[in-house]
Amino acid sequence: MKTRMLMHQEHPEAYSAMMGMEKFINSSKLDKTLVELIKIRASQINGCAFCIHMHTSDARKNGESEKRIYALNAWRETPYFTDEERAVLALTEAMTLIAGSHVPDEVYDEAARHFSNKTLSEVIIAIITINGWNRLAIATGRIPD
């Protein structure tokens, strides 16, 4: 494996725009644990080793348990996640795999049951952002540290 390019060097203005989305999510009132679950789960689905490494490390620093990190790719089969987290994980999966079945009403409605429109919009933006980062890292060959 090798890094193909560093986008922040080639097009700092584009990279800065992506960082703007990241800064928005970080400044939102979204629970940081929830944000890291979104980032890890989308990165698992997309197969982004760079982002999986980064966000599992960040989750651990924020106090996330090893048990929940290890079980995240099988979250439906465990009792470790709250109903709110399950709704967000289902939405994360639907949005990440959007070409397959779009976002089913029942998935969206369950997430909407747990969050206000404003908070749900922040969740959606967090999912969009990590999917963008995954695609950027995979396409440019970013290697985990």
- Predicted confidence (pLDDT) per residue in 45-94, tens digit: 999 999 999 999 999 999 999 999 999 999 999 999 999 999 999 999 99
Alpha helices in 47-116 (DSSP H): 49-61, 66-71, 83-96, 98-101, 105-114
Q: What pLDDT was estimated at residue 145?
A: 82
Of 74, 37, 68, 31, the closest CA to residue 52 belongs to: 37
Do residues 106 and 142 make contact, with C-beta atoms less than 8 angstroms apart?
no
Residue with tokens 């997309």: 46
Instruction: Given CATH 3.30.70.890, say whether it is the number of domain 32-140.
Output: no
CA atoms within 13 A on the CB side of 37: 29
Do residues 97 and 69 make contact, with C-beta atoms less than 8 angstroms apart?
no
Domain boundaries, the chain: 32-140
